[in-house]
Structure 1
Amino acid sequence: MGTYPIRSVSGGVALAACAVLTMTTAAAATPIHDASSPHTIPPHARLYTPPPDKGAIKQITDLLKARDVRDARLIAEMISTPQAVWFTGGTPDQVRRDVHRVVTKAAAHHAIPVLVAYNIPFRDCSQYSAGGAVDTAAYEAWIDGFAAGIGDKRAIVLLEPDSLGIIPYNTDINGNAEWCKPDLSGTGLTPDEANQARYDQLNYAVDALEAHRNVSVYLDGTHSGWLGVGDIAQRLVRAGVQRAQGFFVNVSNYQTTERQIKYGTWISECIAFANDPEEGGWRLGHYSWCASQYYPANPNDFSTWVQTDQWYASNLGTAVPTTHFVIDTSRNGRGPNDMTAYAAAPYNQPASVISALQGGSWCNPPGRGLGLRPTVNTGVPLLDAYLWVKIPGESDGQCDAAGGARAWDYSAYTEPGWPTDPSQQALFDPLWGLYDPPAGQWFPQQALQLAQLAVPPLQPQWPVPPVHH
C-alpha cells in the first residue's frame, strides 16, 4: 500500500497533470502540547507531501483529456495534501535505503514525514493485506533497517496498523478466544508462542525507533467501532506504549473524528487509571474496569457518550493521562457507510445481506469523503495530529463475496452487464458495479468520490501552484 514517485511525464496533457503536483505542506499555528520531549511532534510542524500514486497522475490526465477540469483540480488538490508513506516489505538494507530517501527529501522541504511500518509477521492474519516478515528475527532485522534509515532525521512513525486489533491466537480482555488462528506449520511456534511473539516484536520496534531522539512512535489503537477502551488499553501497554509517544486510531477506517477524539482520550485515561497507585493501588492492572464506548455509553447513540466522560471525571482521582494519540482523517469526512439504504428500493436486499455488508463496511464503501486536512494544530491536549495515513484513492482490496467483505442477492437486484455466473458474482463488487482493484492499487471511481464528497470541501488552487520536484 505504498506511494510511488513519478519517473517520467510527457505530452501536453501529461505536463498539465504534472503541474498540479506540489510538495505542499500543512503547518500548525499554535503550540498545543508539551514540546520539551524530543519525541513530541514540534508544535509548528509542517507535514510532508510525498510524490503521488502513478494512478492518480493517469486519472488527472484522463480527466483533462475529457475536459473535466473541475474534477482534475479536485484530484490534484487531494494528492497535494500531506499524507503517509507506507513501507511494506523488502530486505533490511532495502527498507533502510527507502526510508532514508524519504526522510532526506522531507528534510529538504523542512517538513516531517509520516512513515507507516507495515511488515509484522502474520500481517492482517492472511486477509486482504496478507504478508509480513517470516519470523521475529527477520522482523527485528527489518525494523533495525527502518530505524537506521531515519538516522537523526525527524519522523512520525505509525507502527503496524491492525497489529493490536488482529493478534494471532489472542484472547480478549474478557477471556474470549478471537478468530485469528493462522497456520503455524513450519514456524516451530505454538499458539501461545505466536501470541507472545506479536508483543515481543512490537516492544522491540518501539525501543529501536524511540532510540532515535527525533522519532515520534505511535502504536495501533484500532478505532471506536472495534475494540473496547479497556481491551485496547491493556494491549497497548503490553506492546510498550508507555515507552512510545502514543497510539493511532482509525487508520484505513471511516469512524467520525468526534468519536475518535473521545475514544482516544478514554484510552489514555484508562491507561492512567489502571497504572495509578492511589489508595494502595487497588486498580493497578484493572483495565477491564474502564468505562468505554460500550458502557455506560451506548455505541449507537453518541448523545450517551457523555456518560463515559463523566465516569472518568469521577474515577481518575490522582491519575493523569499522558499517552498521546493521532487520528487518521483521510476518508472519514462523512463517517462510515451504514449500508441500510440497500434494504430499500430498488435494491431490496434482505436483512442477511445488509448485515454482511455492514461487516464489510471498512472495505471500499461508496459515498465516503475526505476528512479534516492533516495538521498538528488540533486544539485537543492529548491529540497530537490529524493525519492522512491511508492513501485516499488506493483500494482496500478486492471487496467481494469470496473474500467475505460483500454479499448480494442478485435475484433481488442486478444491472445490465453485471455477471450472471455465480463464480464471477462472487468476485464482483455490486456496490460499485465493478471488480475492485487489489489492495494498494489506485481506484479512480473511489478517489473521485472521496474528493467530490470531502468534508470540509476541498479548495483547489487555480491556477496551479509551482511544482517542487
Structure 2
Amino acid sequence: MKFSNSAALAFAATAIAAPSTPTLQEKPREVQAGCASAVTLDASTNVWKKYTLHANKFYRTEVEAAVAAISDSSLAAKAAKVANVGSFLWLDSIENIGKLEPALEDVPCDHILGLVIYDLPGRDCAAKASNGELAVGELSRYKTEYIDAIVKILKAHPKTAFALVIEPDSLPNLVTNSDLQTCKDSASGYRDGVAYALRNLNLPNVVMYIDAGHGGWLGWDANLKPGAQELAKAYKAAGSPKQVRGIATNVAGWNQWDLTPGEFSKASDAKYNKCQNEKLYLDNFGPALKSAGMPNHAIVDTGRNGVSGLRQEWGNWCNVNGAGFGVRPTSSTGHDLADAFVWVKPGGESDGTSDSSATRYDSFCGKSDAYQPSPEAGSWNQDYFEMLVKNAKPSF
C-alpha cells in the first residue's frame, strides 16, 4: 500500500520513543487456539492491555524462509526473533481471504489477531503501486464477495479476538487528493464501502480502527478538521458502531512517535503543520475527531520507523532506504489516546517496484531515497528485510 502522492501535501515525520516497560511479543510461540467461550471486546476500553498482537503464521513463514537464506549467523539469530513479533495479516484481495481461517489455527486466548481490511473499488486512487483488484463501480462485489465473506468467517469464530484496520489510504485520499479524477471517481464507493465494512464487521469479538493516514498527511493545519469530518461521516453512516475504537495512524509509514523537533521541522512549509510527529498528530487530530463525533483512540504502526532522517521529502513513502524495524508491539505508549504501538506493515514485503517499465511502477519507488532494486508491491525483498533487521531500533 502507499500514502498520498501529492508532494504539496507531503507527510510529516514522526519519531518513536522506546517504551521503558518490556515489549509484549518476543516470547516463545504458543499453540493453543481460541478461548473456552465466546469473546466480547469492550471497545470503550484499551483491549491491548489484555491481549497480545498475534504473530500470524503467514509472516512467520516469510521470516523463517528469509532467516534460512542468511549466511551471517549473528544476523540470522537476530532475524529469527522477528518471527515472534505480532503483526497484522493483510486481506488485500478476495483470494487472500483464504488465509484467514488457517491463520486462526494457532491463536491462543490471550492473543488478538490483527487483520487489515484493504480492497475497496478503485483502491489507492492516487497511486499505481498498490491499486487493487476491484474497479470503480464494483461496490457490490466488495460488499458481497469481500466484506460479507470476512464477516461470515469472523462470526464462525466467536472464541477468537480480532483487531481490524479499516481500508488504509482511502478516506485520507478523499481529503487531500480530491482534485484527482481517479479519486473523484472513487469517492462515493470509498464512503459507502467503508461504512458498509464498519456496519457489518461490528461484531462482539472485533475492535476496529479506521485508517487516518498520519501527521504529515491529515496533520496539516488545513486538513485536521476536514479529515476528522470525513472519517466521522463514515462512522456515522455506519450507524456509529460500538466496536469502532478510533483510528490507525502511520500504517506502513516511516514517521516517528515523539521525535522533537520533527524530521522536517526546518522545512519552509513546516509552519503550516503543527503535527511534526505522531504524538503531536494524536494531540491535535484526537480532539478534532471528538468534536466531529467519533471515538478518537489510536493504534500507531511502528513496524519500520526505527530510523529517522532518511526521506528527502515528507511525501516519500516507498521502500525508504536505510529504514529499520521499530519498537515492538506494546500497550505501553505513555499517551492516553494511543492504545498501542503495533506492527501493521509486514517488514520485508515491498511497497512497490523500482522497475520503471512495470505496469504498476510508481515514480516514488524510483526516487533516490527509495531502496533499489525493489520488486512489486507485496513481494518479498530479502535485502530490504536484512536491512530492517540490521537497523532495528531497539535492536534484536
- Smaller-chain TM-score range? 0.7 to 0.9
Structure 1 pair 209–448 and aligned structure 2 pair: CA distance change class (3 A): same
Q: Deviations 1:367-395 (Å, cap 9, x if unpaired)?
A: 11111110223232221111100001111
Equivalent position SS for 2:182? coil
1:223 aligns with 2:214: yes
Match of 2:198 in 1: 206
Residue 98 (structure 1) shift = 3.6
Structure 1 pair 238–336 and aligned structure 2 pair: CA distance change class (3 A): farther
Q: Retained in 1: the 8 A contact 2:319–2:365?
A: no
Equivalences for 1:114-129 in 2 at 5 Å?
Answer: 114-125=114-125, 127-129=128-130
Q: How many angstroms apart in 2 are the aligned matches of 1:398 and 1:383?
A: 33
Counterpart AA for 1:147: V
Counterpart AA for 2:392: A
Q: How many angstroms apart in 2 are the aligned matches of 1:159 and 1:274?
A: 19
Q: How many angstroms apart in 1 are the aligned matches of 2:181 and 2:309?
A: 24
Q: Deviations 1:425-448 (Å, cap 9, x if unpaired)?
A: xxxx7854x431111111111111
Q: How many angstroms apart in 2 are the aligned matches of 1:132 and 1:267?
A: 32
Indicate which of 363, 385, 389 corresponds to 1:447. Answer: 385
1:197 aligns with 2:170: no
Q: How many angstroms apart in 1 are the aligned matches of 2:370 and 2:198?
A: 40
Q: How many angstroms apart in 2 are the aligned matches of 1:119 and 1:438?
A: 17
- Higher-Rg structure is 1
Q: Deviations 1:34-72 (Å, cap 9, x if unpaired)?
A: x85477525221220012365533332222xx3x11110
Indicate which of 253, 272, 285 corresponds to 2:290. Answer: 272
Match of 1:403 in 2: 362
Q: Retained in 1: the 8 A contact 2:353–2:377?
A: yes
Residue 23 (structure 1) shift = 2.8
Residue 116 (structure 1) shift = 0.6
Counterpart AA for 2:51: A
Indicate which of 38, 43, 58 corresponds to 2:49. Answer: 43
Q: How many angstroms apart in 2 are the aligned matches of 1:338 and 1:430?
A: 6
Residue 400 (structure 1) shift = 5.2
1:70 aligns with 2:77: no
1:253 aligns with 2:253: yes
Equivalent position SS for 1:72? helix
Structure 1 pair 217–403 and aligned structure 2 pair: CA distance change class (3 A): same
Q: How many angstroms apart in 2 are the aligned matches of 1:435 and 1:326?
A: 31
Counterpart AA for 1:149: I
Q: Retained in 1: the 8 A contact 2:166–2:208?
A: yes
Q: Retained in 2: the 8 A contact 1:56–1:442?
A: no
Identity of aligned residues (%): 26
Counterpart AA for 1:440: G
Equivalent position SS for 1:326? strand
Q: How many angstroms apart in 1 are the aligned matches of 2:374 and 2:91?
A: 23
Match of 2:268 in 1: none
Match of 1:411 in 2: none
Structure 1 pair 177–85 and aligned structure 2 pair: CA distance change class (3 A): closer
Residue 78 (structure 1) shift = 1.7
Residue 251 (structure 1) shift = 0.4
Counterpart AA for 1:263: Y
1:435 aligns with 2:373: yes
Residue 333 (structure 1) shift = 1.2
Q: Retained in 2: the 8 A contact 1:359–1:405?
A: no
Match of 1:394 in 2: 349
Structure 1 pair 203–407 and aligned structure 2 pair: CA distance change class (3 A): closer
Q: Retained in 1: the 8 A contact 2:210–2:246?
A: yes
Match of 1:327 in 2: 300
Q: How many angstroms apart in 1 are the aligned matches of 2:92 and 2:292?
A: 34
What are structure 1's unaligned runs of at least 5 residues?
2-19, 26-34, 183-190, 276-320, 340-357, 409-428, 459-469
1:239 aligns with 2:234: yes
1:147 aligns with 2:139: no
Counterpart AA for 2:163: I
Structure 1 pair 430–157 and aligned structure 2 pair: CA distance change class (3 A): closer
Q: How many angstroms apart in 2 are the aligned matches of 1:406 and 1:213?
A: 40
Structure 1 pair 42–198 and aligned structure 2 pair: CA distance change class (3 A): same
Structure 1 pair 431–449 and aligned structure 2 pair: CA distance change class (3 A): same
1:131 aligns with 2:123: no
Q: Retained in 2: the 8 A contact 1:333–1:370?
A: yes
Indicate which of 80, 84, 104 corresponds to 1:80. Answer: 84
Residue 257 (structure 1) shift = 1.2
Residue 272 (structure 1) shift = 2.2
Structure 1 pair 98–333 and aligned structure 2 pair: CA distance change class (3 A): same
Q: How many angstroms apart in 2 are the aligned matches of 1:255 and 1:387?
A: 13
Structure 1 pair 406–389 and aligned structure 2 pair: CA distance change class (3 A): closer
Match of 2:110 in 1: 110
Q: How many angstroms apart in 1 are the aligned matches of 2:28 and 2:376?
A: 27
Q: Retained in 1: the 8 A contact 2:352–2:362?
A: no
Equivalent position SS for 1:273? helix
- Give the TM-score of the pair, scaled to structure 2: 0.74
- Give the TM-score of the pair, scaled to structure 1: 0.63
Q: How many angstroms apart in 2 are the aligned matches of 1:21 and 1:384?
A: 21
Residue 233 (structure 1) shift = 0.8
Residue 234 (structure 1) shift = 1.4
Structure 1 pair 181–263 and aligned structure 2 pair: CA distance change class (3 A): same
